[in-house]
Amino acid sequence: MTRPHTRPAFAIALALAHGTALAQTAPTTDQADIGACAVIESDKDRLACYDTVAKRDTSTPAAADAAAALAKQQEAARTAERAASPRSDLYASEVESDEAIANAGKGSLLDSRWELAKGSKLGIWNFRAYKPVYLLPAFWTSRTNTLPRSPNPNNTVTTPQDLQNIEAKFQLSFKTKAIENLFGDNGDVWMGYTQSSRWQVYNSGNSRPFRETNYEPEVLLIFRTNYQIAGWKGRLAGIGINHQSNGRADPLSRSWNRVMLNVGFDRDNWSVMFRPWFRIAENRDNDNNPDILDYMGRGDMTVIHTVGRNEFSLMARHSLRGGDRSHGAMQFDWGFPITRQLRGHFQLFDGYGESMIDYNHRATYVGLGVSLLEWY
């Protein structure tokens, strides 16, 4: 949104509403409200503020869902009527019904991140948020992994590393849409990239090395869905190819490739994403981590809840096996406001696989820092 174009539009609307000239010597209450809107940090909240001041009737996710449900009922009624008394539909138009159904859930949490609704499409090759972006200057662990190991002897460290239990961590993540509406008015191809680094910045005796950096490029095909289960709206279904590695030489090299499914639900200020995955098999002699599925899991679930400017997320994953092969992890993140322009980020992780090098190493990690971008 470019402010020089929006201010005149609102000024004209306000002037017409009050029956006054555009040039005024004293600001009105509505104009003061517009000034307050201009300093709101969140694009979504700022737009909502402008719409409120302008008295613009904006559609909510619930209204979009209701319109889609009504369109489906009307279509079912027309289908039944045609079956009862066949006649020519040469000039019948389904455009309004189709558009209502295609915009179900417009403005919902998942729609705001994946441009699911027909009316939410913003074109291709635009950078978009993916996973949270943050810097944690303090990232503490209960148990350092000085001897990373693997069933492959070529990937087992025999000389202990000099590591401190407090370091820094940061994450960068973005995505861009490469193809829009691959199948009619649905099916978008996204390319995503996430990078997270653990930096032994306080370890001056060991030249402050980067202990571990994980690289995660992926390609996803995302479809809009529209169904309901126990009050949750099924918004998204997708499939993708995911590569994750740490880009290091043996014996510290770790990597795997996965085919991942994505199923997303939301309601009000909640969203849930399920991601089961299947590992693409590698030659066992060259496999850096042949038992990684029993530690990093065979799927995860992420629940996100927004309360004002606070955003909470909880990720859980598990190996989906019993006995000695039963392993998993949980991660809690909290993005919170510090000032109008600055946000904080708290992270708590417990279990296996906080990073690729630690895929079969269990520990607790606590981090605190600042956030540039959260989920929504």
CATH number at residue 266: 2.40.230.10
| pLDDT-above-70 percentage for the chain | 83
Residue 60 lies in a domain: no
User: Does one domain contain both 299 and 335?
Assistant: yes
- Tens digit of each residue's pLDDT (9 = 90 or more) over 179-223: 999 999 999 999 999 999 999 999 999 999 999 999 999 999 999
User: Does one domain contain both 129 and 100?
Assistant: no
Residue 306 lies in a domain: yes
Q: In the predicted model, is pLDDT for residue 61 greater than 60?
A: yes
Residue 62 lies in a domain: no
Q: Helix, strand or coil for residue 199?
A: strand
Residue 9 lies in a domain: yes
Indicate if 243 belongs to the active site. Answer: yes
* Tokens 């990078």, residue located: 195
Specify the pLDDT at position 96: 61
User: Does one domain contain both 49 and 73?
Assistant: no
Indicate if 5 belongs to the active site. Answer: no
Neighbours of 71 (CB within 10 A): 20
Query: Could you tell me the residue range of the domain that residue 71 belongs to?
Result: 67-104
User: Does one domain contain both 129 and 88?
Assistant: no
| pLDDT-above-90 percentage for the chain | 71
The count of domains in the chain is 3
The rounded mean pLDDT for the chain is 87
- Tens digit of each residue's pLDDT (9 = 90 or more) over 278-317: 999 998 888 999 999 999 999 999 999 999 999 999 999 9
Residue 199 lies in a domain: yes
Residue 61 lies in a domain: no
| Burial class of 279 by CB neighbour count within 10 A (0 to 12, 13 to 18, 19+) | middle
Residue 260 lies in a domain: yes
Q: In the predicted model, is pLDDT for residue 34 greater than 50?
A: yes
Catalytic entry in 173, 197, 243, 305: 243
- Confidence (pTM): 0.80
Specify the pLDDT at position 30: 55
Q: Greater confidence, 83 or 175?
A: 175
User: Does one domain contain both 136 and 26?
Assistant: no
User: Does one domain contain both 90 and 126?
Assistant: no
- Domain end, chosen from 75, 104, 133, is at 104
- Tell me the backbone φ, ψ of residue 108, rounded to 5 degrees: -70, 170
User: Does one domain contain both 213 and 349?
Assistant: yes
Catalytic entry in 245, 305, 319, 326: 245
Q: Which of 40-44, 232-236, 239-243 comes out lowest in average pLDDT?
A: 40-44
